[in-house]
Amino acid sequence: MNRLPFLALPLLTLTACGSADQPADTQPSVAVTTTSVTQGDLPETVTAYGTAAPSLSGVQTISFAQPGQVTALLVTPGLAVHAGQKLLTFAPAASARASYAQALNALHAAQVQENSTRQLLSQQLATADQMAQASKSVADARASLQGLSAEGAGQASTTVTAPFDGVIATLTVAQGDRTQPSAPLLTVAKGGALIVTAGIDPAQRARVNPGQSVSVQRLTGGAAVTGHVLRVAGALDPKTRLVSVDIAFPAGALMPGEAVKAQIATRPVHGWVVPHQAVVTADGPPHVFQDVGGKAHQLPVTVLLSTDKSDVVSGALDTARPVVVDGAYQAHDGDRLRRGQ
């Protein structure tokens, strides 16, 4: 009975010694994915928001110098039209037709006076100056009549046709409307003459130049299209207080009025190009982890450029060792790494 305490002590000692050396495969590990690390360039971008609209050189506004009435309207806003397609019918007002009739009468009276003066001159009853004045009156009356005729004042109605293939950008009248002289009736925009006008912060003006590549993304979603900078304004827009940038893009890629996000590629940034999620910015300065013999090795880095997909960093990275991507935020220096599924 007295031997039981004596035997218990060696048993406890053996148990404690057995737990001192934990097998390596039972140590905590982090599931990760890795990728190789390379040097490269990524463009620094300037982000701007804007709207697709017709360019000034690709737009034609239809108007008449005479008052009148829209007697037939054959299009609607946004309608695609072809060159020569009928758009509307316009009838000059009675006052315009009366002005044309007066000009016609004035020309006839001037011609009669010219003929009479010529006869008097042949009889030496009129001077050369009087003949010159009569001829000038005919020329002035004829020019006035031609001007009114060119403006459609002498026609009962005028049919307006599309000057080129495009779309009806704006329509300011309805059928039956009476219009004032030179009032815009509609605007036709060339199909391939749309641009995006976006606004950038004045502090970024020096970084943006014509010819730079631009990724244009609809705010409603869809694939991005590639364009380029056409023009950078030299003054602030009085309404937005931003610098306007005109961006060209492939014909048919956007419709007038679409809101877009534009990312303008400016200068290239050189360094280590790594996935964005590989750069850990929590709990201290930015750092990455590289796989060194199956364990996480923490390396401090400086972020030179950050995007949604990739970052450019500087630091003492080793091209022979993969960098941790997924799982980087769960890893600590010295953790054992295991490849995630």
* Closest by Cα among 271, 217, 227, 195 to 43: 271
**In a shared domain, residues 296 and 199:** no
Confirm whether 315 is domain-assigned.
yes
Range of the domain at 144: 94-150
Instruction: Give the Cα separation of 210 and 315 in Å (integer).
Output: 34
Both structure tokens of 147: 């001007």
The CATH code of the domain that includes 224 is 2.40.30.170
**In a shared domain, residues 248 and 205:** yes
On the question of pLDDT at 185 being above 80, the answer is yes
**In a shared domain, residues 325 and 217:** no
Confirm whether 237 is domain-assigned.
yes
Confirm whether 297 is domain-assigned.
yes
**In a shared domain, residues 220 and 72:** no
The CATH code of the domain that includes 87 is 2.40.50.100
Instruction: Give the Cα separation of 6 and 263 in Å (integer).
Output: 81
As separate numbers, helices (DSSP H) first and strands (DSSP E) second, the chain gives 3, 22
For residue range 229-271, list pLDDT tens digits in order: 999 998 999 999 999 999 988 877 888 788 999 999 998 999 9
Characterise 222 by phi-psi region: left (phi > 0), alpha (psi -120 to 50), beta (else): left
Instruction: Give the Cα separation of 171 and 187 in Å (integer).
Output: 7
Instruction: Give the Cα separation of 92 and 321 in Å (integer).
Output: 82
Provide the percentage of residues in the chain whose pLDDT is more than 90.
54
pLDDT of residue 75: 94
**In a shared domain, residues 230 and 257:** yes
pLDDT of residue 98: 73
pLDDT of residue 167: 85
**In a shared domain, residues 199 and 263:** yes
Q: Which amino acid is at 208?
A: V
**In a shared domain, residues 82 and 182:** yes
Both structure tokens of 59: 């737009």
Q: For 316-332, what is the mean pLDDT?
A: 92
**In a shared domain, residues 230 and 284:** no
**In a shared domain, residues 75 and 130:** no
pLDDT of residue 289: 94
Both structure tokens of 116: 């009479």
CA contacts within 13 A on the Cβ side of 315 = 26
Both structure tokens of 12: 């406890």
Q: Note the Cα 92 to chain centre separation in Å.
A: 40
Confirm whether 307 is domain-assigned.
yes
On the question of pLDDT at 6 being above 60, the answer is no
**In a shared domain, residues 197 and 245:** yes
Choose one of 190, 212, 245: the last residue of a domain: 190
Confirm whether 16 is domain-assigned.
no
The CATH code of the domain that includes 311 is 2.40.420.20
Confirm whether 20 is domain-assigned.
no
**In a shared domain, residues 177 and 71:** yes
The domain total for the chain is 4
**In a shared domain, residues 66 and 179:** yes
Choose one of 246, 268, 290: the last residue of a domain: 268
Confirm whether 290 is domain-assigned.
yes
For residue range 290-306, list pLDDT tens digits in order: 999 999 999 999 999 99
Instruction: Give the Cα separation of 43 and 309 in Å (integer).
Output: 13
Q: What is the CA radius of gyration of the chain?
A: 40
Instruction: Give the Cα separation of 56 and 305 in Å (integer).
Output: 36
- The whole-model pTM stands at 0.55
Confirm whether 73 is domain-assigned.
yes
pLDDT of residue 149: 76
Instruction: Give the Cα separation of 95 and 98 in Å (integer).
Output: 5
